[in-house]
Amino acid sequence: MNKRNKKVSVGIVGVGHLGKHHVKHLAAMDNVECVGLYDIDEARATVISDKYNVKSYDSLEALLSDCDAVTIVTPTDTHFNVASDCLTAGKHVFIEKPITKSVAEAEQLLTLANTNEVLIQVGHIERLNPALVPLKNYSISPKYIEIQRLAPYDVRGTDVPVVLDKMIHDIDILLFLVNSEVESIDANGISILTDSIDIANARIRFKNGTIANLTSSRVAQDHVRKTKIFQQNLYITIDFLLGLTEIYRVLDPEEPDLDSIQDVQFHYGDKTKKIVYEKPDIPSFDALKAELNNFTNSVKGSATPIVDGQAGKNALELASNIHDLILEDLH
């Protein structure tokens, strides 16, 4: 049978808060044989196995012997060991973000994947947020990007500092938006609730001149996930939480603006321009389902990972540099 028509057999490792959603989606996908799940917490494994009618395996080795690919949804400090076992067994892996705890571990996983001719995809799910879809209709070359990601405290994720838990989502998007190398980083952070950094701010200058200012916190009253992109004649504001993208463009007064909801003229010197406000329709889809579809199609060879292992490592590398600078600044 043609590889593209064959069902991909997938297993899920770790079925906690996020892993159960992996099971739910993978069990419902037509092009997937959801082989089973494995979790070190037997009681949890049984609950999820019963709920979605998916077989529970009593060891990782047993699960691996029955599948072509796995999604790894265990705590970050276990990603390296679990993924190493899966890649060594010749399985394609989807690893929840961050790819690993250290850059050296991520590099070892990339080498293992290369040696075993299998792929790594990383769960930077924000890259599949429907609010990003309208950006493909604009030529993006940011001069300044302002990013905020705030969340109330949640014990899940505190096994890593806030930069590796929260800011790394925005770092991945930033590296996708700015096609340039990092020139310099200025970063500060503080601990409030844990022994680790809970609030972080980083100002990044890229070699092409783009500046980004990122703030992440797990000490907030409400969730905020906003990105603002400023460039010549264009301002885009994205609310990842609401799935809302608003666009302001500067045009000459006579230029057509068919998609505008509102336009306002302004003057400077002897010039007259107009600011055009657009609110593009945002497609409605589930980002996790789209991400897992992208993974299984990539295993079949009919797609490529939207966030591959290299992108996951690049995001981790920048996040780690930011975190190290914060610690240096504190000492």
Decide: is 172 part of the binding site for ligand NAD (CB under 6 A): no
Decide: is 44 part of the binding site for ligand NAD (CB under 6 A): yes
Among 38, 80, 206, 295, binds ligand NAD (CB under 6 A): 38
User: Shortest distance, CB of residue 162 to ligand NAD, whole angstroms?
Assistant: 12
Centroid of chain to Cα 160: 16
Looking at residue 57, the DSSP 8-state letter turns out to be P
Distance between start and end Cα atoms, the chain:
61
Please tell me the distance from the alpha carbon of residue 14 to that of residue 4, in angstroms, as a whole number. 27
How would you classify residue 49: left for phi > 0, otherwise alpha for psi between -120 and 50, otherwise beta? alpha
How many residues bind ligand NAD (CB under 6 A)? The answer is 24
Decide: is 75 part of the binding site for ligand NAD (CB under 6 A): yes
Decide: is 15 part of the binding site for ligand NAD (CB under 6 A): yes
Among 3, 6, 51, 156, binds ligand NAD (CB under 6 A): 156
Amino acid symbol at 15: V
Asked if residue 213 lies in contact with residue 147, where contact means CB atoms within 8 angstroms, the answer is yes
Please tell me the distance from the alpha carbon of residue 185 to that of residue 150, in angstroms, as a whole number. 21
Please tell me the distance from the alpha carbon of residue 31 to that of residue 114, in angstroms, as a whole number. 25
Decide: is 309 part of the binding site for ligand NAD (CB under 6 A): no
Three-state SS annotation for 18-49: CHHHHHHHHHCCCCEEEEEEECCCHHHHHHHH
User: Shortest distance, CB of residue 322 to ligand NAD, whole angstroms?
Assistant: 17
User: Shortest distance, CB of residue 148 to ligand NAD, whole angstroms?
Assistant: 16
Q: Tokens standing for 2?
A: 């043609």
Residues 6+ apart with CB under 8 A from 237: 226, 227, 228, 229, 245, 246, 247
Among 39, 68, 170, 198, binds ligand NAD (CB under 6 A): 39
Q: Which is nearer to ligand NAD, 40 or 330 (CB)?
A: 40
Among 11, 14, 189, 312, binds ligand NAD (CB under 6 A): 14
Decide: is 19 part of the binding site for ligand NAD (CB under 6 A): yes
**Looking at 76-84, 242-250, 254-262, 302-310, which segment touches ligand NAD (CB under 6 A)?**
76-84
Decide: is 321 part of the binding site for ligand NAD (CB under 6 A): no
Decide: is 73 part of the binding site for ligand NAD (CB under 6 A): yes
Please tell me the distance from the alpha carbon of residue 92 to that of residue 49, in angstroms, as a whole number. 22
Among 96, 105, 170, 198, binds ligand NAD (CB under 6 A): 96
Amino acid symbol at 194: T
Q: Tokens standing for 108?
A: 């070892």
Decide: is 76 part of the binding site for ligand NAD (CB under 6 A): yes
Decide: is 85 part of the binding site for ligand NAD (CB under 6 A): no
Decide: is 97 part of the binding site for ligand NAD (CB under 6 A): yes
**Looking at 25-33, 69-77, 141-149, 249-257, which segment touches ligand NAD (CB under 6 A)?**
69-77
Q: Which is nearer to ligand NAD, 32 or 60 (CB)?
A: 60
Q: Which is nearer to ligand NAD, 165 or 278 (CB)?
A: 165
Looking at residue 209, the DSSP 8-state letter turns out to be S
Q: Which is nearer to ligand NAD, 78 or 141 (CB)?
A: 78
Q: Tokens standing for 40?
A: 């070190």
Centroid of chain to Cα 250: 31
**Would you tell me which residues interact with ligand NAD (CB under 6 A)?**
13-19, 38-41, 44, 73-76, 78, 82, 96-97, 123, 125, 156-157
